[in-house]
């Protein structure tokens, strides 16, 4: 039987080999585990961090990790007005009114700042959570190995689309075939596991980087990008501009199911830009949230963000 130590050592060797082969101009950096791993193991020592306002939960971790790694970190503070004014552009690029727009805004501004710094390529930590059990909901999945295997074949990331908009190559080393194939061989018991009495996702990743990154960085909790950057505050700011009565009135008038007021706000921008949601193609099934097409082997609608089961 393979021991923890053997699996940790094997993963560390693969991570070091793969990440050292990437030479981006910069890293989209949050100070979270994934971007810290990307920076610590690659030759790159320049990064960009974006927050809504002068600070955000990510800023403390990013500065601490940057000091430990020896990174030249550029922090870009975005004001609320600038972020809201940019929403139509992001919706236009992505052709989507997914409620995760605040997450995409953080990536958009980080790429925009990277562009201003002259970066032609950037690296991200995309796919680490998907491949190594980084999401809390994965703790409840009985067949985690099968779920991650299926997910690995359909996952995609908006950072690539946003990077294309800016003419910046987005490198995603966790999607490198060597890392992806090895991650699928690692059993779930090494991905979600207790450490000092607390359950952690990405357990084996954290253990593989011991001695390279500080423990505070290695064992920090999961902060979604929109939360860590502070962009998630936009949803409550947008919601405050619409009464409950107006929301109900508008909600009933549209052929779309909305998560919240911000989701409706994004839809109205989408509708102004693109008109009605496009119907499914002949080889697609119909989204239960907005009526758009979804590929048969997928459950997530890229147009509205609906996931099968969300409204059950």
Q: Which of 50, 40, 35 is nearest to 114 (CA)?
A: 50
- If you average pLDDT over residues 41-64, what whole number do you get? 95
Write the pLDDT tens digit of every residue in 138-165: 999 999 999 999 999 999 999 999 999 9
Q: Is the pLDDT of residue 312 over 70?
A: no
Q: How many Cα atoms within 13 Å fall on the side-chain side of residue 143?
A: 5
Specify the pLDDT at position 56. Answer: 87
Q: Three-state DSSP class for 201?
A: coil
Longest C-alpha distance within the chain, in Å? 61
Q: Which of 39, 14, 47, 11 is nearest to 204 (CA)?
A: 11
Q: How far apart are CA 292 and CA 271, in angstroms?
A: 13
- Read off the pLDDT band of 311 (50, 70, 90): very low
> What is this structure's pTM?
0.95
Specify the pLDDT at position 159. Answer: 97
Average pLDDT of the chain to the nearest whole number = 95
DSSP bridge pairs for 9:
none
Give backbone dihedrals phi and psi of 237, rounded to 5 degrees, phi first: -65, -45
DSSP bridge pairs for 195:
198
Q: Which residues contact 238 (CB under 8 A, 6 or more apart)?
A: 84, 261, 262, 265
Q: Which of 232, 279, 238, 272 is nearest to 92 (CA)?
A: 272
Q: Which of 181, 191, 122 is nearest to 157 (CA)?
A: 122
CA angle in degrees (0–180, nearest 5) for 25-31-34: 75
Q: Which residues of 70-102 are buried (b: 16+ CB within 10 A; e: fewer)?
A: ebebbbebbeeeebeebbeebbebbebbbbbbb
Domains of the chain: 4-228 (3.40.50.620), 246-312 (no CATH)
Q: How far apart are CA 14 and CA 159, in angstroms?
A: 24
Q: How far apart are CA 298 and CA 285, in angstroms?
A: 9
Specify the pLDDT at position 55. Answer: 87
DSSP bridge pairs for 77:
51
Q: Which of 174, 171, 121, 167 is nearest to 152 (CA)?
A: 174
Write the pLDDT tens digit of every residue in 165-224: 999 999 999 999 999 999 999 999 999 999 999 999 999 999 999 999 999 999 999 999
Q: How far is CA 50 from CA 53, 156, 283, in A?
A: 9, 22, 39
Write the pLDDT tens digit of every residue in 279-309: 999 999 999 999 999 998 888 999 999 997 6
Six token digits for residue 154 = 């359909």
Six token digits for residue 124 = 């991200």
């Amino acid at each position: 039987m393979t021991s923890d130590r053997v699996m940790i050592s094997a993963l560390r060797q693969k991570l070091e080999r793969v990440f050292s082969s990437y030479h981006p101009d910069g890293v989209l950096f949050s100070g979270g585990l994934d971007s810290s791993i990307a920076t610590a193991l690659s030759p790159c020592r320049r990064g960009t961090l974006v927050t809504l306002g002068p600070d955000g939960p990510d800023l403390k971790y990013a500065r601490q990790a940057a000091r430990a790694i020896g990174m030249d970190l550029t922090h870009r503070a975005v004001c609320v007005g600038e972020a809201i004014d940019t929403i139509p552009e992001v919706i236009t690029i992505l052709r989507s009114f997914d409620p995760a727009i605040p997450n995409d805004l953080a990536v958009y501004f980080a790429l925009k700042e990277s562009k201003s710094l002259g970066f032609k390529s950037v690296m991200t930590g995309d796919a680490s959570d998907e491949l190594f059990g980084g999401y809390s909901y994965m703790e409840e999945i009985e067949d985690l190995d099968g779920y991650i295997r299926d997910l690995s074949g359909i996952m995609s990331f908006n950072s690539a689309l946003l990077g294309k908009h800016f003419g910046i190559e987005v490198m995603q080393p966790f999607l490198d075939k060597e890392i992806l194939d090895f991650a699928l061989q690692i059993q779930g018991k090494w991905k979600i596991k207790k450490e000092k009495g607390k359950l952690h996702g990405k357990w084996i990743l954290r253990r593989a980087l011991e001695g390279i990154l500080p423990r505070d960085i290695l064992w920090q909790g999961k902060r979604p990008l929109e939360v860590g950057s502070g962009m998630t505050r936009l949803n409550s700011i947008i919601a405050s501009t619409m009464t409950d009565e107006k929301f109900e009135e508008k909600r009933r008038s549209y052929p779309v199911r909305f998560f919240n007021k911000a989701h409706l706000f994004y839809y109205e921008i989408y509708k102004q830009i693109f008109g009605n949601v496009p119907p499914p193609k002949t080889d697609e099934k119909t989204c239960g949230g907005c009526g758009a097409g979804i590929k048969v082997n997928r459950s997530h609608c890229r147009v509205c963000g609906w996931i099968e089961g969300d409204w059950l």
